Structures are given as C-alpha cells and as structure tokens.
Amino acid sequence: MPQPLMGMDLAELREAAGPLQPPYRARQLYEALYRGRARDLARISTLPADLRQELASRYAVGLPEIATIYESSDGTRRYLLRLSDGRTVETVLMPEGERDTLCISSQVGCPVNCRFCMTALLGLERNLTAGEIVGQVLLAAPEKELGRLNIVMMGQGEPLLNLPHVLKATRILLDPAGFGLSPRRITVSTAGIVPQIAELGRAPVRPKLAVSLNASTEEMRRELMPITRKYHLKDLMEACKAYPLRPWEKLTFEYVLLREVNDTDADARRVVKLLANLNAKVNLIALNPGPEIPFETPDPGRVAGFQAIVRRSLPCFIRKPRGLDIYAACGQLKRAVTQIG
C-alpha cells in the first residue's frame, strides 16, 4: 500500500523526498499538495521527473474518496467521504452571500453521548488523521475565492479528544505555504473537555474556540450531556475564564434550544449570569429533530424571546438551520445510515 502524503508537514515531506534532494524540493511538494491541491504525484510539474516517479512508487496523495454528494434545496452540500479503511465520514459545505462555511469532522462517529445529537448514536469508531481532516477541506472547499471560506470543526466527533491531529491539520490549513487560511476563519467546537481546553490555549497556532453549553444548570447539563459527570459545568466555566483569547477573539457559546426543557426565560437569565465577565457571544440553535431524538423544537417565538433576554447583555445570534432536508444540519450527521426519504 502506498503511504499517504496528505497530512504530512514540511519535515515529514523532506524525509519522504529523501536525503539526496535539496531542501527546497520538500517545500515545492508541500505547496503543490496543499495550496496546489495536487491529485496525482506524477503530474506535479514543479518537481523533476525522476523525483515524481520515485515518490509515486512509494506514496500517494491520499485524499479520501467522494462516495456521495447530497444537495439540499437551500444550496447546502453534504459530502459522504470514504476513507482508506472503508469507513465513511461527512463534510458539509454551506454557501452563503458573502462567505462559504465548511463544516468538517474530526472523528468517525463520536464518543460523547449528547442526548439530542444523532452522531452520538454511532459511538466512536476512530480518530481522523491530520491528513483526513485536511483532505476534507481540499475535496469540499470551492477552488476559487478562498478568502470567503470559514471552516468549522463541528461535524462528526469531539475535536478536543483528537487534539494532536486537529492541531496538526490546523497548522497546515493556516500556513501561508500550506492552505493559507486566516486564523480568524477556523473554529473548533467542544462539548467541554476541560483539560484539553487549557491545552488548546497553549498551542501557538490554534483555531478559535466554541463551547457547546446547551444548559444553564449543572443538573440539566448532566442530563443532556452525560460528559458533564466527568467535566463539571463549574470547571468548564473556570477553564473558559482562564482561556487566553487573542486581541481580536471572542469565545463562542453554542446553546441548543429544546422545547420546554432548557428554553425558558429563567434559563436565558442563567446563561447571562454564567457568561458574565467573559468576552463571549452566544449562538442559539433550535433543535434539529431526528428519529430517535426524544426532544422537540421550540416555536420561533420562544427562540426569539430567549435571544432577546441574552442580547441585553452579550451578542446573541440564532443559527439558521442549513441542509435539513438532506440530514446535513447540526446534530444530524450520521452517514449513509440516514437515508433520505
């Protein structure tokens, strides 16, 4: 089996090219792989023919294969990607007026057992490699107008439980010689893995952070997100307070609204209290329903009422559902198992 080059950093590519090559060859290969989106090693025209041949005999670019593309009536595209071991994972492209958002996965399935999320029903199959994370971007991001692209690691999986690969992929995506994205345009979302929040904060090159809050009390959070038994809400909030934001950065908190469960005015006021003294903004997500999910979506009026209370104290937005008709919206990623009716 040829080894995949996708996901290798410059030092690893230098080794792949071999000790006889001048160092600039590895850089040319790096640029061709990521910025140039090369699909075939034999055709990287910046490299000499003998090196191309030598590389192609031992390595492959190593992109996942596109198994299916589902297209929504709102323009959203859900990519079902097949990995080299036959497992599948999802990536969602959401084109909008002045920007495109690409939602990528960090694991196959997810080990965190949130009761409102369909991905939880899969359990964890395995971590994605850095190459499989970067590969999703190379396959699904539109070639042109990269300046418009936002990447969110909010697909399948809990990114902070795969932090080394997530950080390595981030370095490649942000490197001007790699994919060349701005650090303001990539966000990682966590269910609240407290020790890894601090670790992320120490990384010199890192994405922005979003935290899935989803409840206003410890008891409710425990019920909705059993991970809270291990990582208490109080400790999560402390980790958020200690998190080293860059000057241009805010912490994002996501809050899934479940009808008559966590959507009252009192919940909204408690959310405000929890986030007092943080440089934060809130994204509200009305539940995207699914089979086997034992909750309902609140009425739009209730969502607006919740937002009005939070907005008195901090920026608060309602996340528009995208790709509901193709099971591409938040909490709906569950691969081919989810057939479209």
What distance, in Å, lies between the first and last C-alpha atoms of the chain? Answer: 38
Distance CA 60, CA 2 (A): 6
Place of tokens 């990519």: 79
DSSP secondary structure letters along 169-214: HHHHHH-TTTT---GGGEEEEES--HHHHHHHHH-SS--EEEEE--
Q: Give 112 or 173: the residue with its C-beta nearer to ligand SAH.
A: 112
Task: Tally the C-alpha atoms within 13 A of residue 196's C-alpha that lie toward its C-beta.
Answer: 19
Distance CA 182, CA 186 (A): 7
Place of tokens 């990521």: 34
Residue 190 touches ligand SAH, criterion: CB under 6 A? yes
Residue 212 touches ligand SAH, criterion: CB under 6 A? yes
Residue 112 touches ligand SAH, criterion: CB under 6 A? yes
Among 331, 334, 335, 338, binds ligand SAH (CB under 6 A): 331
Residue 285 touches ligand SAH, criterion: CB under 6 A? yes
Task: Tally the C-alpha atoms within 13 A of residue 113's C-alpha that lie toward its C-beta.
Answer: 7
Q: Quick one: which segment of 42-50, 79-87, 125-133, 189-197 binds ligand SAH (CB under 6 A)? A: 189-197
Residue 330 touches ligand SAH, criterion: CB under 6 A? yes
Residue 107 touches ligand SAH, criterion: CB under 6 A? no
Whether residue 330 lies in the annotated active site: yes
Q: Give 28 or 228: the residue with its C-beta nearer to ligand SAH.
A: 228
Residue 287 touches ligand SAH, criterion: CB under 6 A? yes
Whether residue 110 lies in the annotated active site: no
Per-residue mark of binding to ligand SAH, 145-184 (x: CB under 6 A): ---------x---x--------------------------
Tokens of 154: 């909010």
Place of tokens 């071999």: 18
Residue 263 touches ligand SAH, criterion: CB under 6 A? no
Q: CA geometry: angle at 322 spanning 316 and 327, to 5°?
A: 130
Q: Give 21 or 212: the residue with its C-beta nearer to ligand SAH.
A: 212
Q: What are phi and psi of 199, to 5 degrees?
A: -65, -40
Measure Cα distances from 21 to 30, 48, 105 in Å: 14, 11, 35
**Which ranges of 36-88 does DSSP label H, i.e. alpha helix?**
49-58
Of 110, 117, 316, 330, which one is the catalytic site residue? 330
Residue 13 touches ligand SAH, criterion: CB under 6 A? no
Q: Give 212 or 228: the residue with its C-beta nearer to ligand SAH.
A: 212
> Using the 8-state DSSP alphabet, how is residue 314 labeled?
S
Q: Give 12 or 74: the residue with its C-beta nearer to ligand SAH.
A: 74
Q: Give 236 or 330: the residue with its C-beta nearer to ligand SAH.
A: 330
Instruction: Count residues near ligand SAH (CB under 6 A).
Output: 19
Residue 214 touches ligand SAH, criterion: CB under 6 A? yes
Give the residue numbers marked as catalytic.
90, 330
Which chain residues interact with ligand SAH by CB under 6 A?
Answer: 112, 114, 116-117, 154, 158, 189-191, 212, 214, 254, 256, 285, 287-288, 293, 330-331
